[in-house]
Amino acid sequence: MFERPDSGERAVLVHIAFQGARGSGNLGEFTDLVLSAGAEPVVTVTGSRRAPDPGNFIGRGKLEELAEAIAGHDAELVIFDHPLTPGQERNLEARLGCRVLDRITLILDIFAQRASTFEGKLQVELAQLQHLSTRLVRGWTHLERQKGGIGLRGPGEKQLESDRRLVAERIRAIQRRLDRVSTRRELSRRSRSRAGVPVVALVGTPTPVNRHSLIA
């Protein structure tokens, strides 16, 4: 359903510390996540604010600094170490002229790359679709319109409504399949219990320094 970008995409990272926040996040951990997703960090833009800007998340001066960093490093995307609202994401893409990802999208992409079981893949796709559905609003295709060319002119509201319907239908289909998987798993669990088969569970998370480890 989702096409992930090829590894090695040049990315500008954005990490902002907010005054009064309990924690501004770990920059090293964020960089590791970006590397795990297959991107190539070329520069990190940092700063501090009292609160996120409602429209662009960052202020005008930091926005200009970010635009210069993209141009100066020939970057293909910007990744924020923060969740962005759909409006902020659209405004940033319109201003910067490149794709903008937030931390949630980044983590979902990593999970999509690491998911190995059928159920796991369905769960990740469901999460991605639910996240995407909040972004399907007017103006979503402004980057395509800027590019121009055959097949890249904005699809308009009719296409947008079609996209919403397709996403909603896919979400319902995945939820039905997950229900069936859950039912089969419960039946198998009961069978093992009746047969007295011992069950062993491994619980834990990968070591942060191992960028190639699988996400549990």
Coil vs helix vs strand at 13: strand
Residue at 1: amino acid letter: M
Higher-confidence position of 163 and 44: 44
Torsional sign, CA 148, 149, 152, 154 = positive
Fold of 8-114: Rossmann fold (3.40.50)
Q: Where are the domains of the chain?
A: 8-114, 116-216
Q: Record the pTM.
A: 0.63
d(Cα 135, Cα 90) in Å, to the nearest integer?
8
Q: What is the pLDDT of residues 99-153, one digit of tens each?
A: 999 998 898 888 888 888 888 888 888 887 877 777 765 444 443 444 443 333 4
Closest CA to 207 of 29, 25, 8, 26: 29
Coil vs helix vs strand at 53: strand
Question: Which token pair is 190?
Answer: 């009961």
Total H helices, total E strands in the chain: 7, 4
Q: What is the pLDDT of residues 151-187, one digit of tens each?
A: 334 444 455 566 677 777 887 888 888 888 888 888 8
Question: Which token pair is 99?
Answer: 């794709």
Is 209's pLDDT higher than 70? no
First to last CA, the chain: 22
